[in-house]
Structure formats: C-alpha cells, structure tokens
Structure 1
Amino acid sequence: MNKKNTLKALAPIQLAYTKDFDDKRMKFYVEMLLDINPVTLEQAVYNVIQKSKFVPSIAELREEATKLSNYVNAVEEVPAAQIAWERVIQVAQFYGYEKGLEQLDGLTLRCARAIWSSFDPRRGNDYNESSCRAQFIKAYEQLESRERERLRLANSIKQNELLLQARKNAEQEKAMLETGNKKIPSMATCNLIELVKAPRKPVDVKKAIEDADVSEKTKTLLRGVLGG
C-alpha cells in the first residue's frame, strides 16, 4: 500500500491525541498498518477514536479494520459450536445416516464426520447425545480457533513477498508429497531433509585402505580380511 495514504488514514489519531502521539510513533504505526486498505483503515480509526479515551493500539485498529472488512465484503461469521451442533442433529433426523453428511460443509462437516457413526441405525439404542455433543463442540472450537489463527497469519504476510513465496513453495511441496511425486524423510532432529536420489558409484575398498590414515599394522589386518 501507499505510505502517504496510510499516513492520511492515521492522521485523526494525531489530532485526537496530540500529546501522546508524536511523529516517531506515527511513523511506526504507518509501517505496521501499511497492509490495510487506507479507506478501511481510516474508518476504523474514526470508529476507535469515538470509543477510546486513550491512544488506540495497533492491535485495536487491526481488529476494527478486520470487522469492517468482513462486514463490507459480506463475510459470514463462522456459526457458533452450539448452532453447528443443532444443524448436525437436524440434518441427521431429516436426511438420515446415509445422506446426512452430504448436507453439511466447512467446519461443521469436518467435526460431524468424527461422530457420525453414532447416528447409524444399526447401533440401535447405543447413542449418547451428551457425549457426542461434547465431542463435537470441543473439536469444533479447536478447529475454529486454528482456522482464525491461520487467516490472521495469512493476512499478516500479504505484503511480504519473501514469505508469500515461501508459503507457495511449501504448498507445492506438500501437494507433491500427497501425490507421491516426492519423498522427504523426517530426521531425528524433526527437521525435514529432501531425499536426493543420486547414482551410486562403486567403491574401491583396497584403494580406500591404502589411503586411510591408519597404521600399517591395521592396513595389513584389513587386507587379510579382504583376502588380499
């Protein structure tokens, strides 16, 4: 984004909090908020100023800008875990065990798969709704939190070409691994090292013994083992 436009969007903060917001701090805010659309950022600034007695933090401005962006772009809120569970129950009752999963999507579908066998009529009365509900909601909340964090990180590197390229490379490698076109063994250090297949060259053992930095006695013993 253009620094000049970001600076303009943040200008109201300096006017509202003159004593606590000097040029040095303004410059830092500009750098940290450069990735946000200036139009969205400007509105976020006005919104936060109206309800804050103190200088808004960078995190507060980002949070408000995100809310505005989601609203403007009609991004639907992720349904709460309880609402998602009620959806699962309705689908299971109306469509049945065989076709119910086809009516679900997103996080709801991912979490429902783990407990869907509970709705299998062949299990008879072996169904504990409290247990299934608790398992579903726990999994849903964990995945929801993970997804929000993933989106936060994705948004944070939008302007960083090096990190974006690194992410792209990682996704490509992952796709290759999943299709079996590439094999990467996991080492004991937990680092991934790419396996490079190189043609093996024959080893001249006798020459290796002669070149080895060992005593002549040891060399004689090794020659005896090799029968030479």
Structure 2
Amino acid sequence: MTREETISVLTIIKSAYPKFYQGMSKNDAEAVINLWSVMFADTDISDVKLALYKIISTSQFPPSVAELRQAIVTTQEGAVLDTGEAWSQITRAIRNYGYMREAEALESLPQIVRQSVNRMGGWKELCTSENVMADRAHFIKIYSQIEKRENEQRLIPLPIREKIQMNIEMHKNSQTESISCNDKPLIEKKEENRPINIENNIKNVRNMIKSLICKEV
C-alpha cells in the first residue's frame, strides 16, 4: 500500500472503533501512519480491506499489525490445516496410493504436509512403519514446527524479510573474516616460537655431549 492508501485503511479502522482512538495526538497519528506504511508496503489495498472487513465483522477490538497481516494470509490462502486434518490426509493417501505410487501420493498432499513426510524419512518409510501412534506423534511435532516457521515468514513484510536475510549474510561474512583474522596471530606465534625451540634443542644436545665426555673421563 502507498501512504495515502494506508491513511484510508486507518480511517476505516478509526470509524469502526472510534473510542479506541479518542484523544490521539497529531504526532501519535503520524507515527501510526508511518509504521503501518512500512508494515503493509508489500500488500495490495484490496487484500488489506478484505481482511479488515473480516476482522471488523467478528472482533470488538481494532486489529494490531500482526492480526491484520494474519487475516490477509487467511483470506488469500485459506485456513492452515490443523494437525489432525493433515494427518488424515496422509492416512487417506496411504490407502489410495499405497507404497508403490509415491509420486502420486505426495502430489495429492499440500506442500507443508509433503515437507513433513520428507522430514520423517520419506513416503516409503512412513508406509512400511508398523508404529502408527509413534508416527502420528512424530508427524504432529514436525508439522507444527514447519507450519509455525512458515507462518512467521508469511507475516513478516517482504522488504523486512529481505533486510533480515541481508543482515544474516553480512554477519556470517563478518564472522568468517573474524575467524580468518584470528588464525593469523596463531600462525605467527608458532613461527616465532620455532627459533626458541631450536635453541633449546641445541642446548640439550650440548649438555648430553658434555655428560658423555665427563663419563668417559
């Protein structure tokens, strides 16, 4: 959304929940506009309004940024399968396609369910397992982890996700350079110690020779 579109959306929210915005100063209003402009820069105003109308229809309280972005995802992609529904799809696919028709079975499953199956060892491993209860528990754990991570990624605005990724790469490179720099003094220190070790060895040899001479005398 543009800044002007953000203002129009906030105007709708203020109209729907007037008592929550009573007494807001001009500076506070400007800060809200600036923040929402950033947090919804990657969204289309029609998607935002649709999600907002859904919230207004069902909630007595104005949405936070996170709540509105979650509603946008839901209106675009539908509700995410809960763990029970996801596991039911797997058991149905096993009945319909069995062990041999792996490609067709996986194709029939949503992407997040396929990812969970692969994390469990793959389709054939799941089909041949004899411990259904343990498999179900394992699947629910993995599915929940993947779903949570992907949902968090969907909620973060694209420009911010890109900056986060750049920041991660920058710190990785910085750590690599730091390790490389820290290695150099160790090498130099070893090289500095070499002459000292040689001198010590020479002294030891001389002492051994003297000792032998003294014994012969």
TM-score (norm 1): 0.58
Aligned to 1:3: 3
Structure with greater helix share of residues: 2
Letter of the 1:89 partner, please give it.
Answer: T
Distance 2:166 2:131 in 1: 44
Is structure 2 residue 64 aligned with structure 1 residue 58? yes
Distance 1:46 1:82 in 2: 29
Which consecutive aligned stretches of 4+ in structure 1 deviate over 6 angstroms post-superposition?
A: 171-174
Distance 1:8 1:38 in 2: 9
Letter of the 1:2 partner, please give it.
Answer: T
Of structures 1 and 2, the one scoring higher in RCO (CA 8 A, sep 6+) is: 2
> Unpaired runs of 5+ in structure 2?
204-217
- Residues 84 and 108 of structure 1 are in contact (CA less than 8 Å); yes or no, is this contact kept in structure 2? yes
Deviation at 1:149, TM superposition (A): 1.6
Alignment equivalent of 2:87, drawn from 73, 77, 85 = 85
Identical positions, percent: 19
* Structure-to-structure mapping, 1:210-225, within 5 angstroms: 224-225=199-200
TM-score (norm 2): 0.61
Letter of the 2:199 partner, please give it.
Answer: G
Distance 1:45 1:94 in 2: 40
Greater C-alpha radius of gyration: 2
Alignment equivalent of 2:162, drawn from 157, 161, 164 = 164
Partner of 1:127, secondary structure, is: coil
Aligned to 2:142: 139
Partner of 1:193, secondary structure, is: helix
- Residues 92 and 119 of structure 1 are in contact (CA less than 8 Å); yes or no, is this contact kept in structure 2? yes
- Aligned alpha-carbon RMSD (Å): 4.4
Deviation at 1:9, TM superposition (A): 2.2
Letter of the 1:64 partner, please give it.
Answer: L
The aligned length equals: 186
